[in-house]
Structure 1
Amino acid sequence: MIALAGTIGTGLFLASGRALAAAGPVGAILGYLLTGILVSGVVLSIAELAALVPLTGSYVRYAACFFDPALSFAIGWNHVYAACVAIPAEITAAAVLISFWTTSVSNGVWITVMGLLIIGTNLFFIRVYGELEFGFSILKILLVVGTIIMGLCIDLGGVPGQPRLGFQYWKNPGPFVQYLGIEGSLGQFLGFWTTFSNAAYSYSGVETIAAAAAETKNPRRNIPKAAKRIFVRVLLFYVLSIFIVTLIVPSNNSFLLKSSGTATQSPFVIAANLAGIQVIPHIINAIVLTSAWSSGNSTMLGASRTLYGLAREGHAPKIFLRTNRFGIPYVSVGFVSVFMALGYMTLEDAASNVFSWLQDLVAVAAIIAWMVICLVYLRFYYGCKRQGIDRSELPWAAPFQPFAAWMALLGFGLILLTGGYAVFIHGKWNIETFFSHYFNIPLIFLLYFSYKFIKKTKIVGLDEMPIRYYIDIANQNPEPEEAPAKGWRKVNILWS
C-alpha cells in the first residue's frame, strides 16, 4: 500500500493547479502523460538492476558497481540535497493548505508545527512509521478515487442546480494558454513545455520502488511485478486525475495556484467550491494536508538513512553514524531537519511563491537522479553485451530495453536544459527562476569531479563489472514459486 501511494502527494494535489494555469487543459494532460512515459522507462531500468542486485541504497550503490564510485558519491549527496529542499517544500505546501481555513495565523506557526511533527515521527515514533504511512496511503487513494467520482458527477450534471459542463472549459477559455503573453502557437507550446517541471515534481520519488529491495520479501519477483504496473498507476492516479480536473476547473480561474501567490487552494478544492459543495473542500484539504505530512515523513526517513549510508561508505563525516538506543541515526535526522528553516521564507514572500520555487529545485534534482539511473543502467546493459551474458540469465529482463532507458535519458536531458527557458526571453530574466532550474547542474558535476580528483577513482570497465558474480548469487538463492492468484486477485493490476 505504501509503494502504491508513495508518489501521490502535494505534487498531484497542488502542483497540478500550476500546470493547468500555465498550459491549459490539453497542455497539462500531455505534460503529465509524456513525463509518465519517460518515468516508466526509469522505473523499468531501476527494477531490472534491483532484481539482480537487491542492495540497500538502491541506485547510489549501483552507480559504484556499474559506473564509478565518484558518481555514487555525487548522486548520494544529490539525494540528500533534494530531500533537504523537498521537506521544506512539503511544509510550505502544508502552510498553503492550512491558509484555506485561516489567514489570521502566521505561516511561521504552521511551518513550526509541521516541522516538529516530522522530526518527532522520525525520532520518537519510528516504530509506528509503517502504520502511519499505511493509513496515509489509504486516505490518499480514497481521495484520488473520490475526487475522480466527484469530478465526473460535477461534469455530467450530477450536482443539483449545476448545469452539465462536458468539455466546456476546453472550448472556453480554450485547450491551451498563451503563456508569457506570447500570442499564437508559440505561446501555447511554451505553456505546454512548462508542465514538465510540475509533472517531474509530482512524480519525484517514483524511483524509490527499489529503495527497500534488500528488505523486500522475494525482491527478484516482487520488484519487477511492481515495476510492470507503474504505467497503469500513472494512467489511473495522475493522468486520469488531471483529466477530470481540466473538465471542472477553467484554466483562467483566479484561485488556481499561481506564482502571484493570490490563491491557497488546490484545483480539487476549487472544483468543489465552484460546484457549490460546502463540506467536500474541507475534507479534501484535510486529506491533502496529511499527504504533505506523509511525504515529509518518508523523505526524512530516506534522506537520513542515505546520509547514514554515505557515512558508512566513507562518503560523509563519521558523526552521521551516531545512533540512539533505538538504532535511529539522530545526527542525520538533525542535519536534514535544519533545512526545514527554508520554509520560513514564506514569512517574507507568499507561501505559494516559495512553494513554486522549492518545487522547481526538487524537480531538477529528481530529473538528475533519473538520468543517472538510466546512465548506470545503460552501462550495465552494454556490460552484459561485452561479457557475453544473455539477458535471459538475469532474474528479470525489463521490456523495451535499451530503448526505454535511452528515451528517458535523452528526454529528461532535454527537459533539464530547457526547464528555465523563460529567463532567456527578453525582459523575462529572473534570478530565482534561473537558480532553481540550473543550480543543480554545476552542483552534480562539482561533486563528481571533486571526489574523482581527490580519490583518483576510475570508471568501471565493461569487462570488470561484477555482473556474473550477482547472477551466481541469484542462482544459488532461488526464490519460492508464487502461489497462483485466486478470486479477484486474478484481475488485480495495482498491487498484490
Structure 2
Amino acid sequence: MSKIEYEGDPPHHEKIGATPMEDDIRNDLSTSPEGQGLQRNLHARHLTMISLGGTIGTGLFLASGGSIATAGPGYSQIAYTLVGSMVFCFMSSLGEMTTYLPITGSINTYGTRFVDPAFGFMLGWVYWFSWSITVATEFVASAIIISYWIPLSQCPGWVWSLVFVIALTSLNLISVKAFGEVEYWLSLTKVLAVIIFIIVGFLYIGRVVGQPIVLEDGRETWPGTPIYNMGPFHGGFVGLLSIFLNAGFSFQGAELVGIAAGETKNPRKNVPRAIRQVFWRILLFYVLTILIIGLCIPYNDPKLVDNESIESSPFTRVFVQAGISVGADIMNGVILIAILSAGNSGLYASSRALHTLSKEGNAPKFFQYVNRFGVPVYCVLATALVGCLAFIVSLDDVGQGQAYDWLLALSSTTGFISWIGIAICHIRFRMAFKAQGRSLSDLPFVSRLYPFGPIYTLLICFTILLGQGYASFSPFDVKSFLSAYVTLPFVLLLFLGKKFISMTKFIPLVDVDLDTGRTFMDTTTPTEPKDLKKTWLRRIAGLIF
C-alpha cells in the first residue's frame, strides 16, 4: 500500500475527527516539498541504538571511577542500581505515551496537552537549553581528548572544536536518516567497547590474563572479593548521596528514544521494542560494569580521581592490568567517539525541541521551516550557534571561563527536570484516559509499572535535585550552593512567567486532547517474517542490541 493509514486500533475503537488527523499527517509525516514537515526516516535499528547509546557516555567511561573512589564499590552499586531502575520506570512511562502519540518533540508537547501550556513551554525551553549547553561542553571536551595524541602546543584546541562543530552540524543538516546512520555506528562502537571490557574483566578476575595488583603497602593480590571488601561502603551518607547524583547524570540521554519516535518508521512496533530492552541494557552496561570495576580496582587507587588524565578511566586501568598495553589509546578513542555521539544526539534533540516550540507559538516562527529532506535547518543552526558561543565564553581570554562555569551549572540539573516532566505527563495522561472513559486496550503499549513507575521517578529525581547541594551547607559555601540550585529558580521563572503573560490554566482531564497525533504509519514498512526461527545467538544479540 502506498498511502498512509490508521493502523492497529481495536475494532471497537471509534475513529477520530478527520481534521486533526489530516493536520498531523501534514505536519509530522510529510514527504512533500520544503517547509511541509518532518519525515519518518529512522528505522528500527536506528531507534534501538539511539536509545542504547544515549545512556553510554563519559559518565560511564570516566565518572564511574570517581564514584567508586568517593563512596566505594558497594555504595556505587546501590546508587547506579537505584537510578537505573528509575530510568527503566520513566522509559516505560515515555514508551506508553510515545506509542500512542508518536510526536516529534514529544516531551514539551505532552506537557502542553496533558498538563498546562506553561508547563510545556517550560519543559521545551529547559530541554533545548540543556542539550545546547551539553553540545558546547562536548565540543570543548573533544579538543582535550585529541590533545592526548596531538599536544595543544602543536595545534590549539579551538581548531579541533571548530572541526567537530562543522562536521556534526553538516551531518544534522543532511537528513534525519544521516543522523540516525552515524549515531548507529557511534553507539555500536560504544556498546562493543563495553562488551569487550566485561569479557576482559571476567578473564582478569578469573586469573586467565593479567598480573597481580600491587597495593599501597606493597602487597600483591589478584582482583576479586579482597579488592571489593577493602572499602565497599566508604564515605558514609554524604558519599552515598554524591554518588547517587553522579549516577543520575550518567544516565541522562535515555529519553532520546521519545524525541526520535516522531521521525521513526512504524513507531507502534519499534518504540516498545526499544523500551523493553532498557532493563537488560542497564543491567549489562552499568550494574555489571560497576561490579567488575569494584572487583578489579581498589577504591583508594589515587588514579581514579585524576580526571585530568585518560589513565584515570577505570576501563583503561583494567585493560592495562589485564595486559593490554594499548588500553589508554583504545579508551581515548572510545571516549572521543562517546563525546561525538553525545554532540550528535544533542544537536538532534535540541533542534527538534526548538522546532516544536516554534510550532506551538513559543519560539520565533521561522524555526518552523523544514527543508525538503525533513530537517529543521534554522533550529539546527541555532543550536550549533549556542554551542559555539558557549565554547567562546569558556576560553581563558573571555571572562577567565567564569561565564562558562555558570552556564554549565545552570544546565547541569535540567535533565532531571525533563524526567520529572515525563512522570507528571504520564500521570496526567492516564488520569485523562480514565476520565474520558477510554479503555487501556486502546493503548498499543501499556506500562505495567503505573502508578508506581512515575511516582518512583518523581521521588528519585526530587531527591537528586534537592540533595545535590547537601555538602554546601556544612560549612555553608555560597558558590557551591548557587551552583547546585541556580537552575531551580530559572525553571520556576519560565513556568510562572509564561503562565502570567499568557494566562494559561491547568487543562481539565475531560478536555485533554488524546486524539490529535494518533499513530499514523506507512504500512509499506517491512516486517520480519513470523515463521523466522531465531537461534540462541540471535536471541542473546536481541537482548543486548
- Length-normalised TM-score, structure 2: 0.79
C-alpha contact (below 8 Å) 1:320/1:332 kept by paired residues: yes
Q: 1:381: which partner in 2?
A: 430
- What is the DSSP-based 3-state SS (H/G/I as helix, E as strand, rest coil) of the residue aligned with 1:494? helix
1:78-477 matched pairs, under 5 angstroms: 78-101=126-149, 103-105=151-153, 106-123=156-173, 128-162=178-212, 164-172=222-230, 174-178=231-235, 188-257=236-305, 261=308, 265-322=312-369, 328-340=375-387, 341-343=389-391, 348=396, 362-426=411-475, 429=477, 431=479, 433-467=480-514, 469=515
**Which region of structure 1 is more displaced relative to structure 2, 137-146 or 435-444?**
435-444
**Amino acid of the structure 2 residue aligned with 1:25:** P
**Which region of structure 1 is more displaced relative to structure 2, 479-488 or 398-407?**
479-488
**Amino acid of the structure 1 residue aligned with 2:508:** G
- What is the DSSP-based 3-state SS (H/G/I as helix, E as strand, rest coil) of the residue aligned with 1:54? coil
C-alpha contact (below 8 Å) 2:320/2:326 kept by paired residues: no
Q: CA deviation at 1:131?
A: 2.7
Hey, what's the Cα distance between the residues in 2 that align with 1:237 and 1:356?
30
Hey, what's the Cα distance between the residues in 1 that align with 2:118 and 2:356?
15
Show CA shifts across 1:393-422 (max 9, x none).
322221021111111112211221111211
C-alpha contact (below 8 Å) 2:310/2:316 kept by paired residues: no
C-alpha contact (below 8 Å) 2:311/2:317 kept by paired residues: no
Q: 2:22: which partner in 1?
A: none
C-alpha contact (below 8 Å) 2:102/2:519 kept by paired residues: no
**Which region of structure 1 is more displaced relative to structure 2, 378-387 or 232-241?**
378-387
- Length-normalised TM-score, structure 1: 0.86
Q: CA deviation at 1:231?
A: 1.1
Q: Does 1:54 align with 2:102?
A: yes
Picking from 63, 82, 95, the partner of 1:34 is 82
C-alpha contact (below 8 Å) 1:17/1:267 kept by paired residues: yes
C-alpha contact (below 8 Å) 1:28/1:242 kept by paired residues: yes
RMSD: 3.3
Percent identity, please: 35
**Amino acid of the structure 2 residue aligned with 1:71:** F
Larger Rg: 2
Q: Does 1:63 align with 2:111?
A: yes
Structure 1 residue runs without a partner (length 5+): 179-187
C-alpha contact (below 8 Å) 1:395/1:474 kept by paired residues: no
- What is the DSSP-based 3-state SS (H/G/I as helix, E as strand, rest coil) of the residue aligned with 2:255? helix
Hey, what's the Cα distance between the residues in 2 that align with 1:56 and 1:136?
23
User: Cα 1:28–1:136, aligned 2, differ >3 Å: closer, same or farther?
Assistant: same
Q: 2:62: which partner in 1?
A: 14
C-alpha contact (below 8 Å) 1:43/1:227 kept by paired residues: yes
Q: 1:185: which partner in 2?
A: none
- What is the DSSP-based 3-state SS (H/G/I as helix, E as strand, rest coil) of the residue aligned with 2:333? helix
Hey, what's the Cα distance between the residues in 1 that align with 2:330 and 2:309?
22
**Amino acid of the structure 2 residue aligned with 1:153:** L
Q: CA deviation at 1:18?
A: 2.4
Hey, what's the Cα distance between the residues in 1 that align with 2:69 and 2:405?
13
**Amino acid of the structure 2 residue aligned with 1:250:** P
**Which region of structure 1 is more displaced relative to structure 2, 51-60 or 369-378?**
51-60
Relative to total residues, which structure has the larger helix share, 1 or 2?
1
**Amino acid of the structure 1 residue aligned with 2:345:** S
User: Cα 1:330–1:195, aligned 2, differ >3 Å: closer, same or farther?
Assistant: same
Hey, what's the Cα distance between the residues in 1 that align with 2:410 and 2:71?
20
Hey, what's the Cα distance between the residues in 2 that align with 1:337 and 1:28?
35
Alignment length (residue pairs): 480
